[in-house]
Amino acid sequence: MSFFDELKRRNVFRVGIAYVLMGWVLLQAADFAFDLIAAPNWVIQSISVVVVIGLPIALLLAWAFEMTPDGIKRENEVDRNQSITPSTGRKLDYTIIAILAVVIVSMAVERVYFSDDSGIEDASAVNAAAKSIAVLPFADMSQAQDQTWFADGLAEEILNALVKVPDLQVTARTSSFAFKGSDKPISEIAAELGVEHVLEGSVRSSRDRIRVTAQLIRASDGFHLWSENYDRDLDDMISIQENLALSIATALQTSMDPEALAEMAKAGTQSIEAYQDYLRGLQLKQKALTIAEDTEIFEQAYAQFEKARAIDPGFVDAHVQAADYWKVELSPTRTDTGSSGLRPLEMLREYHERIGLAIQNATNEADRVRSLADRAMLDLRLRESRRLFDQYLELRPNDESTRFELFSVLAMLEDKASSRNVLTYWKTKGETDSYSANAYMNDAYRVVDPSEAADFGLKSLQRWPNTTGLIYQTHRTLVWAGRFSEASSLAARYETLVPGSNPLIQAREACAAGDRIAAEAILAEFDLNKSNVLSSMWLIHNMLGNTREEIEVLRPLEDNGVLFSLASFLTYHKFDPRPYPALMAVLEREGIERTPPVIPPFRCPPPQQNSIAVLPFVNMSSDPEQEYFSDGISEEILN
């Protein structure tokens, strides 16, 4: 008998299979049980080691010993004619089948009840994650107070590096930077942000030296897990950022090996000058987002990114940021557009040049896939874009800004099931994270019950009462829910925080009150020479029920050669693409079936016959004092 046949006769193979299956079941049960009691990771790791070590021992015992009617005996002591190994083998077969059934049932239960089809990890696990951190903006301690650009940029770059660590949960910049200049205790900040650790620091510089101080603090007891002082030449600026990110990830005992961590922490350029321009661009971009989306400051930020990529043509992040500027310029649904003055096709060429360089110079697969996904989105290869965004988020699950882009693609595809999965993630994470709460409120009313979404918005405003973006989103959701009186109180709060209010809020309020004339007056005040008013004009035409005007105001977007600009309106469930043949051709190519457009519950009443609105006359003279005359004429005609 061959050695292989002898292994079969002694049931060594059967014992091995049964052992492996039993070990898998044991580890799954232990993992579940230890999760419930929050046991440290080393416990399950120790059990895993024991199970692995036990396999060769089990195989050795199966070879050397045999079950007999008189008990276990050494194999060489058993008469082959009296051996019952065939009977033992059948029992082992039954055992293997039973264990396999348990494995299959447990895997099916996990798939049905615990899996997330969108590839997004369960948000409750996010909030409970021990490896979670918020990076607070670094304080500028320089005597001249002229290093804010470096302090903010450094903190943001550390945050961006940590986002790349798969098993580390990092609070979004919008949420953590809201505590800039705050004197709240670290424990309170951590509790509000739902994290276990906080990084804080400061920057101080002289003519040719820079000093950076950083502390990684455990929020539960205020213990400093790690701290470091860097007193370096300005030429060592890049190494400070790389060293900080690497040290923090190591201190939090992430799963990445040292080589991968070092790659993650790289700044992307070795040019100090390019790095400084890039950090200045980041600081300006974020400043613009907090000042009512100031387009002039966006222009200044773009100029810094352009300088950075000109100095270092291989600087991928600078290419990405510059490309994003042109993507925003081509997105009329954004209010921070319209300052470049280029024609759409020229903007598209600028975008493709920069995103192409980002793809060409990418040093890792994640960065390359992210840029490929973005380019596919702009080219309206929507299903490919969705696949690439999913692939990227498997590599970088903490990149919330990219998840926001993915949601836009899902909305264009009208994939409501996957959209709900993302919204569920944002809603749970939004309990402690203002960025996620705002992301949820931005889109929830289009997919889930608007009243349910509005309740979440009102709850979020109890935590962040003066967040204008959240107030705006919640106001819109309330009017979609038909809760007009609650919406009006929020409109008043928004007016208090942002004097002059928002024309869309004013128009919604007017239509909800049935005041069509007031809504039409708001529409008439838009400056048609400004390209970033097109989206607002379309929205108000939709509120008024001006179907023809609603269609025609977007017609130029179909004819300008860049269909992405028109397709961006697909994210609105009240948008009707049928009047636009070129866009319908894209939907047919992508296999997208749009549901009929939704009519807003706050739509203005139709105009009455034989009715007229007298708008204020415009003073076209060079004498501003003639304003009284133009106003007087319109008032007299009205009278």
At 118 the pLDDT is: 38
* pLDDT confidence tier of residue 573, bands split at 50, 70 and 90: very high
Q: With 90 as the cut, is the pLDDT of residue 8 above it?
A: no
Query: Token pair of 479, please?
Result: 């009017």
Helices (H), 465-573: 468-480, 484-497, 503-512, 516-524, 534-544, 547-552, 555-559, 563-567
Percent pLDDT > 90 in the chain is 40
Over residues 238-255, the mean pLDDT reads 82
At 122 the pLDDT is: 38
At 427 the pLDDT is: 95
* pLDDT confidence tier of residue 106, bands split at 50, 70 and 90: confident
The answer to whether the beta carbons of residues 263 and 364 sit under 8 Å apart is yes
Q: What is the pLDDT of residues 253-297, one digit of tens each?
A: 877 777 777 777 777 888 989 998 999 998 888 877 766 555 788
The secondary structure of residue 335, as a DSSP letter, is S
Closest Cα to residue 376, out of 343, 412, 418? Answer: 412
Cα gap 427→423, rounded to integer Å: 6
Q: With 60 as the cut, is the pLDDT of residue 128 above it?
A: no
The answer to whether the Cα torsion of 229, 233, 238, 242 is positive or negative is negative
At 534 the pLDDT is: 87
Q: With 50 as the cut, is the pLDDT of residue 239 above it?
A: yes
Q: With 80 as the cut, is the pLDDT of residue 83 above it?
A: no
Computed on alpha carbons and rounded to an integer, the radius of gyration of the chain in Å comes to 31
Cα gap 311→307, rounded to integer Å: 6
Over residues 368-383, the mean pLDDT reads 97
**Entry pTM:** 0.71
* pLDDT confidence tier of residue 312, bands split at 50, 70 and 90: very high
Cα gap 320→355, rounded to integer Å: 6
At 124 the pLDDT is: 35
Cα gap 460→454, rounded to integer Å: 10
The answer to whether the beta carbons of residues 173 and 156 sit under 8 Å apart is yes
* pLDDT confidence tier of residue 629, bands split at 50, 70 and 90: low
Helix (H, G, I), strand (E, B) or coil at 211: strand
- Residue 361 has a CB neighbour count (10 Å cut-off) of 19
The secondary structure of residue 602, as a DSSP letter, is T
Q: What is the pLDDT of residues 600-620, one digit of tens each?
A: 999 999 987 555 666 666 666
For residue 29, give every residue at least 6 positions away whose Cβ sits within 8 Å of its Cβ, in sequence order, or none. Answer: none
Mean pLDDT score of the chain, rounded to an integer?
A: 84
Helix (H, G, I), strand (E, B) or coil at 264: helix
At 321 the pLDDT is: 95
The answer to whether the beta carbons of residues 175 and 405 sit under 8 Å apart is no
Cα gap 262→258, rounded to integer Å: 6
**Bridge partners, 134 (sequence order):** 198
Residue 106 Cα distances to 60, 102, 103, 347, 392, angstroms: 30, 6, 5, 53, 29
**Bridge partners, 224 (sequence order):** 217
The answer to whether the beta carbons of residues 174 and 290 sit under 8 Å apart is no
What are the chain's domains?
3-113 (no CATH), 128-267 (3.40.50.10070), 612-639 (no CATH)
The secondary structure of residue 268, as a DSSP letter, is S
For residue 367, give every residue at least 6 positions away whose Cβ sits within 8 Å of its Cβ, in sequence order, or none. Answer: 316, 320, 358
Helix (H) or strand (E) holding 366: helix 365-378
Helix (H, G, I), strand (E, B) or coil at 317: helix
For the ranges 143-152, 254-263, 577-586, the maximum mean pLDDT occurs at 577-586
The answer to whether the beta carbons of residues 567 and 327 sit under 8 Å apart is no
At 126 the pLDDT is: 34
At 639 the pLDDT is: 63
| Residue 482 Ramachandran class (φ > 0 left, ψ -120 to 50 alpha, else beta) | left
DSSP string, 89-101: HHHHHHHHHHHHH
Cα 60 to the chain's mean position, in Å?
Answer: 52
Cα gap 494→508, rounded to integer Å: 13
Helices (H), 210-343: 237-251, 258-265, 272-290, 295-311, 316-329
Question: How many CA atoms does the CB half-sphere of 465 hold within 13 Å?
Answer: 4
| Residue 338 Ramachandran class (φ > 0 left, ψ -120 to 50 alpha, else beta) | left
Pairing mode, strands 132-135 and 169-170:
parallel
Question: How many CA atoms does the CB half-sphere of 16 hold within 13 Å?
Answer: 10
Would you say how long the chain is, in residues?
639
Low-confidence winner among 209-213, 491-495, 578-582, 608-612 (lowest mean pLDDT) = 608-612
DSSP string, 110-172: HHHHT--TTSPPPHHHHHH-SSEEEEPPPEE--TT---HHHHHHHHHHHHHHHHT-TT-EE--
Q: With 50 as the cut, is the pLDDT of residue 198 above it?
A: yes
Over residues 376-394, the mean pLDDT reads 96
At 411 the pLDDT is: 95
* pLDDT confidence tier of residue 388, bands split at 50, 70 and 90: very high
At 568 the pLDDT is: 95
